[in-house]
Structure 1
Amino acid sequence: MSDPDSTPLVVDVAIAGGGLVGASLALALAKLQLKVVLIEAAPFGAVDQPSFDDRTTAISNGSRRIFEALGVWPLIEREATAIRRIHVSDQGRFGFTRIDAKEQGLSSLGYVVVNRVMGAALWRRLKAEPSITVLAPAKVQSMQLQQHVQRLECAMDDSVRIVEAKLAIAADGARSTVRQSAGIGSSTWDYEQVALVSNVLSQHFHDHVAYERFTNAGPLALLPLTEGRLGLVWTFSPETAKEMTALSDTEFLARLQDTFGFRLGRFTRVGQRHLYPLSLTRSDEYVAERLAIVGNAAQTLHPIAGQGFNLGLRDAVSLAEVLADGLAEANGEFDAGDGMWLQRYREWRAADRGNIVRFTDGMVRLFSQPLGPIKLLRNAGMLAFDLMPAAKDALSQLSLGAAGRVPRLARGAPLSKG
């Protein structure tokens, strides 16, 4: 590898990680008069970017409004499938809960989109933004705090590029190099579970219903997709997950049928099956000197409630809003890495993060309990919950990302005041 470029790239904001959250943050910041660089390890627009795989993501109405503001929604709308009802049940038990968009006064509770589709739309928008410099493929090897800047050393092919940023943003995933370079650790709780992800077809149309069924092996989710398909996320122990991938399609569909039942008729086809280990990872801190942490670098959640991406996206646009307000207050003398803005970001995000992490982790632990009395109580609770509109309203608001202070972009308002 050759020596570093002697002329550093000097910017206001350097975003490490061009996945779904990092790319969204870059687009949000493009609306401000800031010099922004996005550093991504995969080639520009590469289909093999880890975040842009064939997994499906349930995005909230707040996230849809954010994508509308970023100019991304028109590029993915045709590939997005509305969730109009959610049905939650416990295998072999009487408890169930239903949430209907109409009861909440909504046209939908959210949408399901394939990650690859979202990634392609985000990168297409990035190409159209001249104010954003993209370094790709480029990998941050180290970061060092210097006077008034973070100095990032980025490997590009056989050379090294130096970036000096007033503010560095870690959006580079659960094993964030940038976070670690700042000396910030993380805690991880291994759920000792693996998510098996695939697409399936059934005899009956899904009718825009998302199903979550809790089984002895782990949660099973079926999410409505385009062309009548269903996105399957089925959680197992690592050993059982390997066994499930080894089954023939016919054998696998028979197991799925036996577990889910015939609410959708018979399952007729299954696509490729992929495995993803599951854990809860939380950063020890969310800001440091001239550093902010967002998305999976801040927290990585179990997919049981489909909240990980929505939470990370709110991280991104909340930070963008703090910087927009800072620009307005600074009257031209603006330092994006000023500790005042970072503290505002940290304090704002604390409640939302805490609520969603506790909600998601609590669901995993509650529905993993094998004890008979606990199963009986949780099923009685699910039935009672189904009859209590106020409780359902509260859950739907939490899952839609409408609890606590909501970012302007998630409300359909402009990023900047006025």
Structure 2
Amino acid sequence: MTTGPEPAFRPAAPETLTTDVLIVGGGMIGLTAAIAVARAGLSVIVAEETPPPPTLLPAFDGRVSALAHGSCQLYRALGLYDALAADGQPILDIHVTDGRLGEAASPLFLHFHHGDVGAEPFGLMVENRHIRIALHRALERIADSSNRQFAQMSLNGAVLPETALAAEERVRLLAPVKVAATARDGAFATATLADGRAVRCRLIVACDGRHSPLREAAGIRTVAWDYRQAGIVATVEHERPHAGVAYEHFLPGGPFAILPMTGNRSSLVWTERADLAPALIALDAADFDAEMRRRFGTHLGAARAVGPRFSYPLGFHIATRFVERRLALVGDSAHGLHPIAGQGLNLGLRDVAALAEVLADGCRLGLDPGDPTLLARYERWRRLDSVVMGTVMDGLNRLFSNDAPPVRLLRDLGLAAVNRLPPLKKFFMQHARGSIGKLPRLLDGRPL
């Protein structure tokens, strides 16, 4: 009996996944975008480099976000608000003062009360871990619902469209996985993953951070500068209740924000000169608390920092374009602001709401999610708002970090004037709520 030569080994061809939209980056902005785009009627794959949380409720890592009222409305429309509110602290008042280290705050101040612009709070302070868990649970619910709908369609004998996806691919999170390369030409975009798989889609959404590799690969430049400041973040336990008041105390080194958390806790976002921040972070607990209390004051009684503390450099950047062929930039990949008013995450969520609305409207018209007219509408809507917000935050930081006596006097008089002029005060309160400008439907609490 004769046998032929052994057949040559042929490795299996790499798997190619198909979806309408590929979102690169599975942070809070990326996962929110996935849910919103899925609610717009499109299939989504999220590619994220880090693995999902190993436990249902990871330990508190010190990171907290201030969700403005508009962002709360978005999460309410997406069905996540109740889960966030259960672990969040409403922001009821905002108190803004000016001063110097070791001196009493200026008697001229600005105070916002949420009741002056409606029954809803200015926003909600939520630990980032609770936001991430709520997003992961929502993605699981959407995936389960998609599986049931797909199975029902098949059982009913319906004719499935040629582009219909396997049930598990309707909303899919790939993690940990890295996007190694992308190609965006013709009718599709293709992302090659580091594990050899490929994702074929109509639109790639970059939610991959301020140093966005996708933005760089697309040749999109940024306008950027360094503030020579660092943000120090810590959690403080204090003796007296904060009553839901957020304090913004402007010091020569930068703003010192005390943001209310659940219980008798507050989150500090402490802006300091970049050359001083490492030494402050390195202090032992007693010395760090002493420096913190010099800025924190005594209005909440005895206070001490608890849990992790960390710092990060502060800068500004904005992309010269928010879109390219079959590519849209969202969140930090498009812009980064000074945290002086805690608007960074909220600005990214405005991007998400606008992009989801543009895609939902296009889907109703039967348009390709990567259609240039849809992407141009998204860019017009979001870039101007981002430029204006970035310019305002930049100007405020420069104004309030200036310790020249004439400048201090003028800005203190300005705070007092705004406090006594109801129409102007109401405008700034609406701005703090994220209720200014042409709002996407989600930011108004309406479905897509």
* Structure 2 SS opposite 1:41: coil
> Is residue 410 of structure 1 aligned with residue 418 of structure 2?
no
Matches within 5 A, 1:336-347: 336-347=369-380
Could you tell me which residue of structure 1 aligns to residue 98 of structure 2? 90
State the shift of 1:6 in Å: 3.5
> Is residue 114 of structure 1 aligned with residue 116 of structure 2?
no
Residue identity opposite 2:295 in structure 1: T
Q: Structure 1 residues 373 and 166 mapped into 2: Cα distance closer, same or farther (>3 Å)?
A: same
Residue identity opposite 2:343 in structure 1: Q
Could you tell me which residue of structure 2 aligns to residue 41 of structure 1? 49
> Is residue 394 of structure 1 aligned with residue 427 of structure 2?
yes
Matches within 5 A, 1:6-25: 6-25=14-33
* Structure 2 SS opposite 1:129: helix
Structure 2: unaligned runs, 5 residues or longer: 1-10, 101-105, 144-169
For 2:138 and 2:53, how far apart are their aligned partners in 1? 11
* Structure 1 SS opposite 2:75: helix
Residue 138 of structure 1 is aligned with which of 177, 197, 200?
177
For 1:153 and 1:364, how far apart are their aligned partners in 2? 41
For 1:5 and 1:225, how far apart are their aligned partners in 2? 51
Across the aligned residues of Structure 1 and Structure 2, the Cα RMSD in angstroms comes to 2.0
State the shift of 1:33 in Å: 3.0
> What's the CA shift string for 1:355-377, capped at 9, x where partnerless?
21122111111111132211111
Residue 392 of structure 2 is aligned with which of 359, 378, 394?
359
Give every structure 1 segment of 4 or more consecutive aligned residues whose post-TM-superposition deviation is greater than 6 Å.
none
Residue 206 of structure 1 is aligned with which of 236, 242, 265?
242
For 1:398 and 1:276, how far apart are their aligned partners in 2? 26
How many residue pairs match? The answer is 406
Q: Structure 1 residues 269 and 279 mapped into 2: Cα distance closer, same or farther (>3 Å)?
A: closer
Q: Structure 1 residues 5 and 273 mapped into 2: Cα distance closer, same or farther (>3 Å)?
A: farther
Q: Structure 1 residues 18 and 11 mapped into 2: Cα distance closer, same or farther (>3 Å)?
A: same
Matches within 5 A, 1:2-401: 5-46=13-54, 53-92=61-100, 93-130=106-143, 131-155=170-194, 159-330=195-366, 334-401=367-434
For 1:395 and 1:370, how far apart are their aligned partners in 2? 24
State the shift of 1:99 in Å: 0.5
* Structure 1 SS opposite 2:242: coil
Residue identity opposite 1:193 in structure 2: Q
Q: Structure 1 residues 266 and 7 mapped into 2: Cα distance closer, same or farther (>3 Å)?
A: closer
> What's the CA shift string for 1:229-263, capped at 9, x where partnerless?
01011111122111212222222222222223222
> What's the CA shift string for 1:309-358, capped at 9, x where partnerless?
1110110111010111111122xxx3110101001111111332122112
Residue identity opposite 1:149 in structure 2: F
Q: Which moved more, 1:355-364 or 1:317-326?
A: 355-364
Q: Structure 1 residues 349 and 53 mapped into 2: Cα distance closer, same or farther (>3 Å)?
A: farther
Conserved? CA contact 2:260–2:266, under 8 Å: yes
Residue identity opposite 1:400 in structure 2: R
For 2:189 and 2:83, how far apart are their aligned partners in 1? 35
State the shift of 1:171 in Å: 0.7
State the shift of 1:110 in Å: 0.7
Residue identity opposite 2:301 in structure 1: G
Q: Structure 1 residues 402 and 4 mapped into 2: Cα distance closer, same or farther (>3 Å)?
A: farther
For 1:161 and 1:19, how far apart are their aligned partners in 2? 22
Conserved? CA contact 2:69–2:120, under 8 Å: no
Residue identity opposite 1:108 in structure 2: P
Conserved? CA contact 1:203–1:268, under 8 Å: no
Conserved? CA contact 2:234–2:305, under 8 Å: no
TM-score norm. by structure 2 comes to 0.87
For 2:306 and 2:172, how far apart are their aligned partners in 1? 41
Residue identity opposite 2:187 in structure 1: H
Structure 1: unaligned runs, 5 residues or longer: none
State the shift of 1:5 in Å: 5.0
Q: Which moved more, 1:401-410 or 1:91-100?
A: 91-100
* Structure 2 SS opposite 1:44: coil
Larger radius of gyration: 2
State the shift of 1:286 in Å: 0.3
Q: Which moved more, 1:297-306 or 1:397-406?
A: 397-406
TM-score norm. by structure 1 comes to 0.93
Conserved? CA contact 2:29–2:352, under 8 Å: yes
